[in-house]
Amino acid sequence: MERFVVPDSLGGERIDRALALLFDISRTDALAMISGGKVYVQGRNSIAKSLRLSTGDLIEVSESLISSRFELEPRPDLDVDVLYFDSDLVVVNKSATQVVHPGSGRERDTVVAALLAKFPQLSEINCDPLRPGVVHRLDKGTSGVMVFALSQRSFDTLSQGIRSHAFLRRYIALVEGHLESRLGLIDAPIGRSTRNSKKMEVSSNGKEARTRFEVVESFDRPRPATLIYVTLETGRTHQIRVHLAGLGHSVVGDEVYGKGDELLNRPFLHSETLAFEHPVTKEPMTFSAPLPSDLRERLANFEGA
């Protein structure tokens, strides 16, 4: 049997779609696995085909049915900017071009592949085998600070910290237009788009999502824009981008939820600060990463209000 814990990004998904995404199989094959009693959720294999998963659910799947599944291999040739590590965790500064873990596209050039080469103990953690040590994620196109677990105890504790919103996760974003208030809380549920399964949207049927923002500086030229700090109280997929776009202030450079930018080929979004309690020593830990060069250069093109 192979075991993995449902990540936040798949919380609320139907079991058949989640299996299809994780193992790169058709939903028909996934349904056959479920009907054949080969899939266990929280220890039960008598499950409805329409079951929606919850973050943290334990799924067990017969190994023989997924023997051809994508295998994650260590990649010592890949660079990763390690800010800190000990026997329990590693903190990295992810570049915007890096993908955290393999997805439906079966990417091999991932942060976890690079970390496996440096920290082989990642493979011993009982979790989704394609996401070893991953307790939270950043989208491709988003840069900045992330933490990975290096032990089972650390993985369980950090994952619980993410679920209970015990982490401080602060981002820097440049958004279109001028915000009406200098401080604000966006409290609006987010779910998968009914029109495009690759996108998220504010939806009454979605999961609770709360985003705080604070204005740093406003600009008038070359067009109205605002630099803000953004703090996550929850961690839904694309949360910051969806919430800000819903306010009418999409992130500069966001071609998915906004209009993109002529000089920036990714969203102006950077995970600046991550603070949490060490999972073993309980020591408070804070890590920060400065704006990368592409965002600094783009910001320099904007002039004050």
d(CA 231, CA 240): 9
**DSSP code of 291?**
P
Please count the other Cβ atoms lying within 10 Å of the Cβ belonging to residue 281. Answer: 10
| Tokens describing residue 241 | 């981008």
Strand extents, DSSP E, 62-142: 81-85, 89-94
Tokens 């993995």 label which residue?
4
Query: Alpha helices, DSSP H only, in 164-263?
Result: 239-246
SS3 231: strand
Given 16, 139, 254, 294, which residue is catalytic? 139
Q: Which amino acid is at 68?
A: S
Residue 103 forms beta bridges with which residues?
none
Give the list of residues 6+ apart from residue 302 with CB closer than 8 angstroms, or none.
174, 219, 221, 222, 225, 227
The answer to whether residue 220 is catalytic is: no
Using CA atoms, how far apart are residues 108 and 277, in angstroms rounded to an integer? Answer: 31
Tell me the catalytic residues.
Answer: 139
